[in-house]
Structures are given as C-alpha cells and as structure tokens.
A = this chain, B = another copy of it.
Amino acid sequence: MGKEGFFAKQSELDMEDHLIFEYAFESFVDPEEAAAHLCQEQSTAQWKRVDVDEDLRPRFGAKVIDLKVLETMERSSHPEMGEGEGPAYSCRVKIAHPHANFGPKIPNILTAACGEGAFYCPGISVIKLMDIGFPEPFLEHFEGPKFGVKGLRDMLEVYDRPLFFGVVKPNIGLTPESFTALAYESWMGGLDIAKDDEMLGDVEWSPLSIRSALMGQARRDTERRTGEKKIYLANITDEADRLIELHDMCVKNGVNALMVNVMTVGLSPIRKLRRHTEVPLVAHFDFIAPFTRVPYYGVDSNVIIKLQRMVGFDTIILPGFGSRMKTPDREVLENVEECLKPLGHMKPCLPVPAGSQWAGSTIDIYEKLKTIDFGIVPGRGVFEHPMGPRGGGASLNQAWEAHRNGVSLEEYGETHPELKAAIEAFG
C-alpha cells in the first residue's frame, strides 16, 4: 500500500470541511504507513474502480495532518493486542476527515471515528480516540443544551453556590409513596434536586406514572412551604421509542428535569428528545467506562462528554474525584472543563462529578474546580444521614455556609447539629 494521497498540510485544506480525529496509537509497522492506513480504512479504502482512471482520495480521503512518534520501543507494550517482528512505535496523530463523508449525524460520525476503520487497522495494535475537533459551522447542526447552567440556576433561583443533587436511597425497592416521603424530607432540609437512581426506571413496583405524580405534587408543596424552588429529576431511561411519551407524562405530572443513562440508550435518540423537551436533560454515565477506562484503548471520556453536550444535555453526571471512582483527577478536571468551555454556539452544561459524597464534598470539589458551576450528588450522604434525609439536606447547606463564612466544618458543626452528625457519620 502506498502512503501517498493520505497526507496533507493543514494549511492546504479547508478546515471548515473537516473534522479532526485525534488518536493515540501504537504501531508495529512504519508509523507513516500505519497512519496512512488509518486514513484509508476510515475513508476511501479502495479509491478507484478497476479500469477507470480516477482518484477519489483528494475529495473523499481522510488525511494525516500531524503525526508525532512519541517513543520507539523494542516490542509492543500490549502484545496480546497485536505485534510485529520488529520495534513498536507510540504515536499521536491528527486526521482531517472530510465531513461530507458522513454529515452531522452522531451514528455516522462514530462510525468514521470509532468504527471498523479505526479499530481494525493493519499495523496498529492499540488505539484510543482522544478528541474530535468540530468546525463551528458543523456545530450549528447540533442544538446543544436547551437550558444550560444558567437555565438550571434560573429554575432554582440559586446563583451563588454549587447545586445540591441527592439520589433518593434506598435506590430501588421503595413504593412511590415511601420514595416521595424521603424526597420531601430531603427538599425540606435544603436539597435542590431530588433524583432517581440510575437503576430506578419505570418499573412495575414503582411505575413512573405514579411516582412522577406524587413527586410533582410533593415538589410543589415543598416550594409553597419553603419559598424555595425545587427540582425532581426523574430517570426516564427506557427503550428509545418511549422517551418522548415518558417526557410528556412526567412533565404533565410536575417533573421538571429528566435523566437518561445515555450510552445505554444511544446518543442519537437524545437529539429528538432535546428538540422536544420542556425541561432540562441530565446524562448519567452508565456503559461509558467499558470503552473509556483502559488508558491505551477505546475512546477518551472527553469525547463522550463533548458529544453529550452537543446532543443536548444540560447536566452531565460523570465519575468524580477520589479513589472510589477510579478516575484520575486530571481526567475529572478535563471532563468538567469540557462541559463549561466554549463550544460553538452551545451553552455550557453543568458538570456533576459523582461518587460517595457528603456535605464536606462540596468544598473539596470547589477547591479543585475553582468555580461554583457544578453539582454534587450524594446518595447515602443525604439519605443515610443519622438524622434522616432532612438532616442530610440541611448538612449540605451548612457545610457550604461554613465555607462561605471562612469557618471550619468542625467549628460550624458545634452550632449546627446536622453538619456535626454528617461529619461524624461520613467525614
């Protein structure tokens, strides 16, 4: 195979016509040959007809615009994934792929970037898609978040602190009545957003029709009593063709945010939901680890964050800090930045770094992120609070008040029993 036809200078291409696929890969053949193959296999694998004098590569071929060999090794670092006879090369490549080959469609973008072409490329043992760069005109085809961070804050009328989500626990097994009683307590304690667990969908023992009606009513009651705005985030994860129907039923019943375990349904079905929705959409991260967590293979989690924002999520729940969530701090920080940084015309979406949180987590996360535009999402930290979920909800607010007043949690806890109990139980 010749390499010619699959290399270009970025300055010679109209970059508005291309997406940039960035991969880290290891080859056991000449890196230029491997990179050319990567372009060939994901675009014009055969670029001419037999007996026809033509060359489809200039218009349709993906092209290497940058290739760096980071390291030359004696042999493959992951021989079980493929190896050659000679040395192995650790590489980083940027490929400009003409987007007219697929158009502004999630499944066809994923096919080009993560399909047979990328993952079964001759001469390449391991590969990870690190980023997709989108030109601004291409991004115009995607709606992005409808509400975004500001829309969510406007709903809650909370502008000066992180947002407090709480996963109602026990997460499965409660009747809609018991579930609602717990959520009500947590809201009364000061929780902003009471939410369904990712495992709790529309099930026989807690039909969403009943749960959403009770929760919608309880939310309005709480708002009337407290003068504060509240959100019930219902998990409508279900077969793709039920999303709109569940949206309509939930919204009618007073649900004011909807969660989808996005990669279990597919990114694509969210686009229709986004165009239809009357309330913010929240993504949960199930089925993402299987293809993002191996350092040298699969897809970088940032790519999936970006795509979740593009299809229209207002909030993205993602694996947060700490050994519990097995995610390096660097990756969490990048994921958070991906939610908030400029992306074409799109609104920022609220990052919610999750995992075994309690009242004190807000401050730890704030100190890492240096912004208040995030949410925390404790479960047991609110609902297994020794004083019950009302105490759990209160403890979240008290911890942030302590921080705002420049007082240690312990000191503030002396006059705030809910915080004190939280420190003793979870601190």
Chain A residues engaging chain B, CB cutoff 8 angstroms: 42-51, 56, 59-60, 80-82, 100-103, 105-108, 110-112, 114-117, 119-120, 122, 129, 169-174, 178, 182, 197-199, 201-205, 237-241, 261, 264-269, 271-272, 284-287, 289-291, 293-295, 297-299, 319, 323-326, 355, 379-380, 383-389
Contacts and interface: CB of A to CB of B under 8 A. Distances in A.
Contacts of A59: 173
Nearest 6 A/B pairs, CB to CB: A266-B266, A115-B286, A56-B173, A119-B289, A290-B291, A107-B264
A56 B108 contact: no
Contacts of A295: 80
Contacts of A241: 268-269, 271-272
Given A56-B170, A173-B56, A384 B50 contact: yes
A112 B198 CA distance: 9
A317 to B, nearest CB: 9
29 contacts: A43-B172, A44-B170, A45-B197, A46-B169, A46-B171, A48-B170, A49-B383, A56-B174, A60-B173, A81-B293, A82-B326, A101-B172, A102-B199, A103-B202, A106-B264, A108-B201, A110-B286, A111-B201, A111-B264, A114-B290, A115-B286, A116-B198, A119-B293, A120-B355, A240-B266, A240-B272, A241-B272, A266-B269, A291-B298
A277 to B, nearest CB: 14
Contacts of A265: 107, 266, 268
Contacts of A171: 44-46
Contacts of A298: 290-291, 294
Copies in the complex: 2
Contact of A43 (B111, B115, B199, B387): B199
A13 B421 CA distance: 39
A290 to B, nearest CB: 4
Given A47-B173, A269-B266, A384-B50, A111 B261 contact: yes
Q: Which of A51, A106, A293 has the most CB of B within 10 A?
A: A293
Contacts of A100: 203-205
B239 A105 contact: yes
A103 B242 CA distance: 14
Contacts of A182: 49
A56 to B, nearest CB: 4
A285 B114 CA distance: 10
A47 B81 CA distance: 42
B204 A103 contact: yes
Given A108-B238, A114-B286, 18 more contacts: A45-B380, A46-B379, A47-B170, A49-B182, A56-B173, A81-B294, A100-B204, A101-B203, A102-B199, A102-B201, A103-B202, A105-B238, A108-B201, A111-B199, A115-B286, A120-B289, A240-B272, A294-B298
Contacts of A383: 46, 49-50
Contacts of A299: 290
A414 to B, nearest CB: 23
Given A120-B289, A120-B325, A291-B290, A42 B199 contact: yes
A380 B171 CA distance: 53
A164 to B, nearest CB: 18
A45 B201 contact: no
A70 B111 CA distance: 37
Contacts of A204: 100, 103
Nearest to A104: B239
A290 B201 contact: no
